[in-house]
Amino acid sequence: MILETYKVIAEEKLVELAAKFNITPEEIKRLNPNTRFFKAFFGPEYVAALQDIQVPVREIVIKELKKEEREEVDTEFIKSLRFDQEARYRCEQTVITKINGILNNHADTKREFIVKKQNTEKGLFVSVKMVDNIIEAYQKPLEEAIKLVCEIDKVKCDVIVSVNKHTGKIEQVLNHKQIVEKWIDLKEDLRERYAFLRVEESKHKFDEFILLSENQLRKESNLINDLSSKLFFDVFFDRYLVTKDILKPYIRKYYSQLFDGYETSLEFRQDILSESPTTVELRKISEMDRSKLDNDFLQRKYNEKFKPMIKYQFSKFNFSVRERVTINTADNWIEQSEITIIEEVKNNIQVLITYKLTKIE
């Protein structure tokens, strides 16, 4: 069973919450032994507000049409786009995990994207196509999983999107149905290629991986969220695309690599390092509001996942992001960006991500 985190904002009836995810109230309780429940006198049982609970990922079912019957969306409008501006980017990323200050594992990623833009009366539209995707993980057991991820990313990262006129973020994926078509074909191919699997655990993990990818691709909002979690899309799609007012502080969500996608909101301040008539260089530094951290959840997850290996008790959770970016303000392109992301339980375990994006054409 693949799980996701569901935020209980206001009190919810346990029966109704369970029905949302097609499971029983007893299963909700089994999956969340530390969740707070309460029962009104002679009334229904409720899940208390302001909690994160674990629930099964909801499978999104969409009828799989034959190729010749699949409906096209906005085909004529997409064909009318000429994309009169074009750039090519290369991105290099290194992810390092340290335990007790000692290197545990690391992975290197190199990607190349072709990006095209066009401003129209309807707003800004951008085409992004990933043309190279090289991942090297220095752990042999991960090689097969990495190959699968690369194949699926190739489908995801071939998009035509509309851009929000206020935020510069992705608003819609115009070719979403075409992406779903490609996914259907790839999924069938993957099932044929991995039909040899006989070990039940391996078959189960493969099926879970396919289901997770299905949920990311099938629903447009999920695809947008998944793309936005990738550093290239997060960095490229920003306010500079749609406004000259780019210095406002802002809040951005990040998802933990250590603690099952735990959501952290970071506040960013921006400073100008240098500027010219056509460029500006910015420094962006994050600050975390520690009062909003769920330390009980973090400590519980640490004790379950890491303490048996690390031995030391939970200390302090930190999450920080620093970015240095150069923007071409005449043509609205990012020329270069360097990012450092650090997530850690202080002195115990750390994930360090270094990322460099460069416009090469």
Residue 148: the pLDDT is 83
Q: Can you tell me the distance from the alpha carbon of 71 to that of 92, in angstroms, rounded to the nearest whole number?
A: 37
Tokens of 96: 């390092």
Instruction: Spell out the domain ranges in the chain.
Output: 3-56, 59-90+114-241, 244-361
Cβ–Cβ under 8 Å, residues 64 and 11: no
Phi-psi region of 252 (alpha: psi -120 to 50; beta: other; left: phi over 0): beta
> Which comes out higher in pLDDT, residue 52 or 226?
226
Alpha carbon distance 91, 354 (integer Å): 11
Amino acid at 97: T
Using CA atoms, how far apart are residues 106 and 321, in angstroms rounded to an integer? 19
pLDDT at 320 > cutoff 90? yes
**Secondary structure in 3-state letters for 275-315:** ECCCEEEEEEEEEECHHHCCHHHHHHHHHHHCHHHHCCCCC
pLDDT reading at 29 higher than 80: yes
Name the band, by pLDDT with cuts 50, 70 and 90, for residue 78: confident
Do 171 and 162 meet the contact criterion of CB atoms below 8 Å apart? yes
HSE-CB for 44 with a 13 A CA cutoff: 11
Give the single-character DSSP code of 42: T
Rounded to whole angstroms, how far apart are CA atoms 139 and 279?
A: 41
Say if residue 130's pLDDT is above 90: yes
As separate numbers, helices (DSSP H) first and strands (DSSP E) second, the chain gives: 10, 16
Rounded Cα distance between 91 and 95, Å, is 13
Question: Which pair of structure tokens corresponds to residue 198?
Answer: 């006989």
Residue pair 222/216 in contact (Cβ under 8 Å)? The answer is yes
Helix ranges, 130-199 (H): 143-156, 176-193
Tokens found for residue 117: 């833009």
Task: Check if CATH label 3.10.350 holds for domain 3-56.
Answer: yes
- Tokens for 70, please give them: 């699949």
Burial annotation 28-43 (CB, 10 A radius, 16+ → b, else e): bbebbeebeeeeeeee
Q: pLDDT tier at 324 (50, 70, 90 boundaries)?
A: very high
Alpha carbon distance 350, 361 (integer Å)? 35
Average pLDDT (183-203) is 86
- Confidence class for position 66, pLDDT limits 50, 70, 90: very low
Helices (H), the chain: 14-20, 25-31, 75-80, 143-156, 176-193, 200-218, 220-228, 231-236, 295-305, 307-310
**What's the N-to-C CA distance of the chain in angstroms?**
45
**Using an 8 Å Cβ cutoff, are 173 and 161 in contact?**
yes
Contact between 155 and 187 (Cβ < 8 Å): no
* Separation of alpha carbons 114 and 158, rounded Å: 10
* Mean pLDDT score across all residues of the chain: 87
* Coil, helix or strand at residue 243: coil
Task: Tell me the pLDDT tens digit for each residue of 234-252.
Answer: 999 999 999 988 888 888 8
| Strands ordered across the beta sheet of 37-39 | 12-13, 45-47, 37-39
What is the model's pLDDT at position 40? 53
| Averaged pLDDT, 125-150 | 83
Looking at residue 10, its pLDDT comes to 67
Give the residue-averaged pLDDT of 341-345.
97
- How confident is residue 2, by pLDDT bands cut at 50, 70 and 90? low
